[in-house]
Chain A
Amino acid sequence: MMLDGTEDEDKFLAAGIAGLQQNSFYMHRALDSNNLRDALKYSAQMLSELRTSKLSPHKYYELYMRAFDQLRKLEMFFEEETRRGCSIIDLYELVQHAGNILPRLYLLCTVGSVYIKSKEAPAKDVLKDLVEMCRGIQHPVRGLFLRSYLSQVSRDKLPDIGSEYEGDADTVADAVEFVIQNFTEMNKLWVRMQHQGPAREKEKREKERSELRDLVGKNLHVLSQIEGVDLDMYKDVVLPRVLEQVVNCKDELAQFYLMDCIIQVFPDEYHLQTLDVLLGAYPQLQASELACFFPFVDIKTILSQLMERLSNYAASSAEVLPEFLQVEAFSKLSNAIGKSYFLIRMLLKRKVYFFTSFSCVFPMIQCLMLLSLCSWIVVIEAQPDMPTVGVVTLYSSLLTFTLHVHPDRLDYADQVLGACVKKLSGKGKIEDNRATKQIVALLSAPLEKYNDIMIALKLSNYPRIMEYLDIPTTKVMATVIIQSIMKNGTRISTSEKVEALFELLKGLIKDSDGIPNNELDEDDFKEEQNSVSRLIQMLYNDDPEEMFKIIDTVRKHILAGGPKRLPFTVPPLVFSSLKLVRQLQGQEENPFGDDASTTPKKIFQLLNQTIETLSGVLAPELALQLYLQCAEAANDCDLEPVAYEFFTQAYILYEEEISDSRAQITAIHLIIGTLQRMHVFGVENRDTLTHKATGYSAKLLKKPDQCRAVYACSHLFWVDDHDNMKDGERVLLCLKRALRIANAAQQMANAARGSTGSVMLFIEILNKYLYFFEKGNLQITVAAIQGLIELIMNEMQSDSTTPDPAADAFLASTMRYIEFQKQKGGTVGEKYEAIKVSHAG
Chain B
Amino acid sequence: MRDTLSIEVKVNGIDRSIEVPVHHTLLDVLREEVGLTGTKECCVVGECGACTVIVDGRPINSCLMLAVEVDGAEVTTVEGLAAEDGRLNPLQEAFLDKGAPQCGFCIPGQLMSAQALLDKKPNPTVDDVHEGLAGNLCRCAGYQQITAAVLAAAEVERQ
A, B co-complexed: no
- A residues neighboring B (CB under 8 Å): none
Instruction: Write the residues of chain B forming the contact surface with A, with a CB cutoff of 8 angstroms.
Output: none
